Amino acid sequence: MFAVLMTGGKQYKVATGDVLKVEKIAGTAGDKVQFNEILMLSGEKIAVGTPLVEDAGVQAEILEQGKGPKVIHYVKRRRKHGSQRKKGHRQQLTVLKVTDILAKGASGSGVAAAVDGAGFVAAAAGPKKARESGSGGRQKASARALAAADDLKNLSGVSPAA
């Protein structure tokens, strides 16, 4: 039996026992996750989703979190007197081992759904929230003052002469 699942914008054909590398999934080594975006199942009967197969899932265990190989992006512009740029990037990856393929009953399995990892974005959001909560009182007071100032009945000298 195999399944075609989608995660990180890519599709993977998996069978029970397969080890695969996908884009970062939130969790630590040893956690069990479940993929609910199943595009196709094969077994006794082939099920093709429109776009997803209802109540199907693939359960996997996270083996490790890591980074892929470094990808070098090198730009050299001809006739620009040595204009060059070298940038590198390492994609964050999760290594998974597929433990089970569920044709039915995935919604009631009790295993946490696989959530794409946010990488460094979540760490950067922490201080911003702290700053917003610190100035929240001032923002609410200024919003009330603006609401009171917008009352058009209190304005004078604006309407046409009667």
Q: Within a 13 Å sphere around the CA of 9, how many CA atoms are in the beta-carbon half?
A: 2
Q: Answer yes or no: is 8 within a domain.
A: yes
Residue range(s) defining the domain that contains residue 20: 1-73+85-118
Is residue 148 predicted with pLDDT exceeding 70? no
30 within a domain of the structure (yes/no): yes
> What is the per-residue pLDDT across 46-88, written as a single tens digit (0 to 9) for each?
999 899 999 999 999 999 999 999 999 998 888 877 788 899 9
User: pLDDT tens across 86-133, in order?
Assistant: 999 999 999 999 999 998 888 888 888 888 765 444 333 444 444 445
**Do 60 and 125 lie in a common domain?**
no
Measured distance CA(43)–CA(147) in Å, rounded:
63
Q: 46 in a domain, yes or no? A: yes
Q: Does some domain include residue 156?
A: no
Q: What letters, b where the CB count within 10 A reaches 16 and e where it falls short, cover 97-128?
A: ebbebbbeebeeeebeebeebeeeeeeeeeee
Q: Are residues 30 and 96 in the same domain?
A: yes
pLDDT value of position 128: 46
Is residue 62 domain-shared with residue 34, that is, in the same domain? Answer: yes
Type of residue at 30: G
